[in-house]
Chain A
Amino acid sequence: MIRVQAMPFDPGGELNTFSQGVAGAGAIVSFTGVVRDVTGGLSGMEIEHYPGMTEKALGAIRGEAMQRWDLAEAMVIHRFGRLDVGEVIMMVATASKHRKDAFEAAEFLMDYLKSRAPFWKKEVTLEGSSWVASRDEDEEALGRW
């Protein structure tokens, strides 16, 4: 399942629903990304995306994960729009018979959606706002897959 939305969501509730839908999968891994104030003074974040391409790109990344690992299901929820510090940005969850598959697939999803799904983050402070630069490590992280 892929969801791209402006609305806040409850990661605990989403994980429960996901888990109930994959009865029989003994291993469930989830990751939740939260807006954090790295430097101090951050008042929030604005996330822009490319409607249409975002869903396609996430669908393709999820599809590849489903092929490469033995998964019962994989889910990605990602928000866009204005978010305050402490708000949940996104989550991924994977379900498998095997722990290793669930962990690896979740990491793969995270690595790919960071630099292959069309989202752009802008940090908003009292002094103004600035686009978050991509990091070389994020691009390099793709090499291990």
Chain B
Amino acid sequence: MIIRGDEPEQIRLLKKLYRPGNYFMQGNEAVAYGALFAGCRFYAGYPITPSSEIAETMARELPKLRGYYLQMEDEIGSIAAMIGASWTGFKVMTATAGPGFSLMQENLGYAVMTETPLVLVDVQRSGPSTGQATKGAQGDFFQARWGTHGDHPIVAVSPVSVEDAFWETVRAFNIAEKLRTPVIVLFDGVIAHTREQIRIPDPEDVEITYRRLPENEEEAKLPFGDPCGDGVPPMPLFGHGYFTHVTGSTHKENGLRDVYTPEVHDRLVRRIHRKIESHEEEIQKWEEYFTEDMDILIISWGVSARPSLGAVLRAREEGIKAGLFVPKTVHPFPGKRVRELLKGVRAVLVPEMNLGQLILEVQRYADDVPLRGVNKIGGVPLRVDEILREIRGVA
């Protein structure tokens, strides 16, 4: 496993199995390879369209890398098994789609509360309910944010291409490990099944992060405290003789349950929030196109960012000053940057494959700029001309 100490052997295996170079592959496969390069050696999942190729790739590749693949009885069990494995020191992942993501919400909250690093890939498909199971969509923006109950922070990243899927998965693992938190990859069924060129890197060129382990007895006694001062406690793993108690109930810094003292709950939940908020700048990532001089700003994410870029390029050809902002980290949303960009902009368009979700997040930062959604549902991605028409409309 790529756990501290075994890197040379793992890098040798990775190099031997996956020669660096250009490949033609599906978004789902890229996610799987990204996970393998990031050091994921445990996968528990349940088959669901359009995510199944991730499970299939992991089932095929993980045993070669001395990893573990497990097909669980349902999505609830999948995320549970991952959390168990994560507490023994593994980097863990699962992939699912909307309905499975709904089932995982209970234990996603458990992972937030117990500060368990894991990566959860949601290959968004058209809903609600079974909807158009085989078609892509972007309808889980807020399920990712508020799907589990109670106050909680969440980190979600969203790739825009097959190559991006590889690197965003690596980044998701690094954030999860660094901040001891679950991270969601908000992928979509369109890119998941799109085949594109991707460059598989040399494993030595992939920067990977490991979770902090306790350095002494004292740190190990505070698995939910803040001995390092940055809100991220070191993680005492099971079997290391620390007798760590982990519970989803409100717990003190030493892990023992205390649900009766208001201050204990306040301290715990606020620290879990602070842990993410204080690292926002490291977590956030976005792309900008033509934003230095623009009248119209397009804000789009995931698959819809691609026709949006096409539309912006066409608009520029027509002399319309359009710019594009693509958040790669969608939660926490890079609102500060959006607020800066909105100064002096006449109109904002938000193209997405839903009836308006990202636009609600943008709205929080748009004080007096008119916003307009460019929404499409039905399982077919937005086209350049559909977005261009809207741009002309506000130009």
Q: Do A and B bind each other?
A: no
Which residues of B are in contact with A by a Cβ distance under 8 Å? Answer: none
Which residues of A are in contact with B by a Cβ distance under 8 Å? Answer: none
